[in-house]
Amino acid sequence: MPLPACALKGFFYRKFPMQAFQVESYATPPTLRVINPPAPAKGEVLLNIEACGLNFADLLMAKGTYQDTPNPPFTLGMEVCGTVLALGEGVSEAKIGTRVAVFGGQGGLAQQGVFPALLCREVPDEMSPQVAAGFQVAYGTSHLALTRRAKLQAGETLLVMGAAGGVGLTAVEIGKAMGATVIAVARGADKLAVATAAGADHVIDASADITAEVRALGGADVVYDPVGGAAFKAAMRATNREGRMITIGFASGDVPQIPSNHLLVKNITVIGFYWGGYLKFNPTALTDSMGELMDWYVQGRLKPHVSHVLPLEQSADALELLRSRTSTGKVVVTL
């Protein structure tokens, strides 16, 4: 039987400092620090964090170049799975002892953290903490981008760039679940094998002539691009008339300049998509999307791929796996 909130507050808040992987300055690497546990404010819950999923945005945030970077000092880690320890004022959506997943934007690489109660989603018993922690951003991004923004239809051809990465791999899987023919682009035989296992109908090595190979397969109706740079340009040349290109991110470090005359001639639409932005103007879209994705997982329609699980003490190593692009699927830190 779980302890009441007041007992949990007294036991956890005042007695035990905790570890957190924090950015103290943009000029220095993040470090593991000992800090006082947080207390939930109005509308928040306190979580005992079990696992934290890492994202490319964490690398940008550590340098201060992400669009929603908080002021230092702050704790990295955008998405977590944990158990509710205490409730802030006015919270009725969550219950103490419940295991939930939440995208908080920061605060995940710590033993405990506070997050908005409205964004918490109860985790099915069938889902492990490692899967739940790395599920939200990657699957949520691809699901909302392909359903709400690109309006991908069954029978269309979906081209996924960076298809073995955290979000790219989920786009392959969700595209197949929506009835599309999926062309996956990744670098190297090992990553192409991962994309094939996720359901890709065709795979193309990133070192090949992407434009020619995609055209030979009939072109792309929808392009999902978290890479940018030369990959975006190659994909644009292979996009069919009235095609839709979704810009998810720029992992290459190169933000492509789009030739408007090409859009005009081929009636191509380029769609901007920032999943985290929905927290501010339409959080219901995120929670509804996540509810459908959780149902798909329970039904066996989704099989998340976590390539690396590391402890909190190796958070720097975990981020390096993203920076060096040696991981496939998700990298998760456990606590």
CB 82 within 8 A of CB 50: yes
CA distance 321 to 47: 26
pLDDT value for 251? 85
- Residue range 181-216, pLDDT digits in tens: 999 999 999 999 999 999 999 999 999 999 999 999
User: Which range is least confidently modeled, 122-126, 212-216, 309-313?
Assistant: 122-126
Amino acid at 67: Q
Give the mean pLDDT of the chain: 91
pLDDT at 78 over 60: yes
State both tokens at 72: 């230092």
pLDDT value for 10? 40
Higher pLDDT, 287 or 75: 75
Mean pLDDT of the region 101-111:
94
Mean pLDDT of the region 100-126:
93
Higher pLDDT, 258 or 155: 155
Q: Domains along the chain?
A: 5-135+304-334 (3.90.180.10), 138-276 (3.40.50.720)
pLDDT at 14 over 50: no
Q: Which candidate, 326, 320, 231, places its Cα nearest to that of 30?
A: 320
pLDDT at 220 over 70: yes
